[in-house]
Amino acid sequence: MSSRISTIIYVSLALAIVMPVQASPHRSNALGDYLRARADAQPLIPPDQLDAAENNPSQFTAHNIEETGTINGFLDAGSGRVALVTVGSDSLSVDLPASLKDASWIIQGASIRMLLSIEPPTDQTLTGRPVLVMAAPEFDVAQSDQEAAAQAAAEQKEQAERPAPVRTTLASRYMAHMRNGMDPSISLTGGHPSLDLSPQARAVFGAYRDTIRGLNGDLTDDQVDKITSSILYYSDLNRVDPRLIVAMIIAESGFDVNSTSHTGAMGLGQLMPATAREMGISDPYDPQQNIAGAVRILRGHLDNYGGAPSDAGVIPFNQIALTMAAYNAGPGAVRRYHGVPPYRETQRYVARVAALYKKMCGTGS
């Protein structure tokens, strides 16, 4: 087995979801089982980590990978039926799980999508042994992925053209907050914030400022102070852990105040134009306004998905995953799939924000 297969692994930062699909009757169960297993298996690691995996294969065994192969034949072994599968230039022999041994579509010449796990090397082998976790017809899986991608594109277009109902509600709450005079502006004097931050926020201000400065060396001192003050103030106001806000901004814009996505999302928190208008934000590229809006949106999603610690303590992963999925793909997509949608972009986004947050909380590597 080549190192290409043995080093493609998954990270442990996504939720299990079930994706409704259309397939022929005798294949629908296999496809549903496969999609559930793949959702449990987590997203692929970023490409820039593959070299590390190749150089240290022993550290990356017992993880799940996804491959497409062609069945070339079968063997009858004492433990059951074994399928001989070609993946690219590699030939694999995999034990068929009990659920697939009698499947009518498991025939010679069939193209299948496989979810594999890699057992650690033994004294007799130099590489890990592939184990088939689940499989489904390649045509059905590819068709399902295409439908999911088309649905994601349609939802993103709809989200860009019309704000989701939950965001309209958040906009109304934000505007009421502004009218009540509870949202003082941030002014800067000599590069230091004059905003009335809480004692807790002032105690960590220097650490957050140094972190943000390190994340984007192009920011001016005034911008760094304004961003830091905004994150700490609006996190305090909305009772959200500021570490989640930092993780979100890293994933959204890399702390580039002028960032604009191909869909028109703007600023640090990548607010869509319609959302910014609904929230009364006159300049989405202004750090204070952008962060104020983004934090309010996140707080609303946290409330929708089980809440968060009222004292801005560490947020449970389940709330983070659903909140960030709603922020990225919209709450409608989360409702439709009863969890994190099966969109690769959204799953990677959720995984990245969660990983950053856990690292800053000292609960993850």
Distance between CA atoms of residues 230 and 286, nearest Å: 11
| Whether 252 is catalytic | yes
What residues are paired with 94 via a beta bridge? 83
**How far, in Å, CA of 341 to CA of 202, rounded?**
38
CA of 35: how far to CAs of 96, 114, 142, 232, in Å? 17, 11, 11, 40
Residue holding tokens 């240290």?
Answer: 56
Nearest-angstrom CA–CA distance, 259 and 249: 11
SS (H, E, C) the chain: CCHHHHCCCECCCCCCCCCCCCCCHHHHHHHHHHHHHHHHCCCECCHHHHHHHHHCHHHHCCCEEEEEEEEEEEEEECCEEEEEEEECCEEEEEECCHHHCCCCCCCCCCEEEEEEEEECCCCCCCCCEEEEEEEEEHHHHHHHHHHHHHHHHHHHHHHHHCCCHHHHHHHHHHHHHHHCCCCCCCCEECCEECCCCCHHHHHHHHHHHHHHHHHCCCCCHHHHHHHHHHHHHHHHHHCCCHHHHHHHHHHHHCCCCCCECCCCCECCCCECHHHHHHCCCCCCCCHHHHHHHHHHHHHHHHHHCCCCCCCCCCCCHHHHHHHHHHHHHCHHHHHHHCCCCCCHHHHHHHHHHHHHHHHHHCCCC
From the candidates 66, 67, 119, 252, give the one annotated as an active-site residue: 252
Helices 242-253/199-215 angle, 10° precision: 20
- Give the residue numbers annotated as catalytic, written as ranges: 252
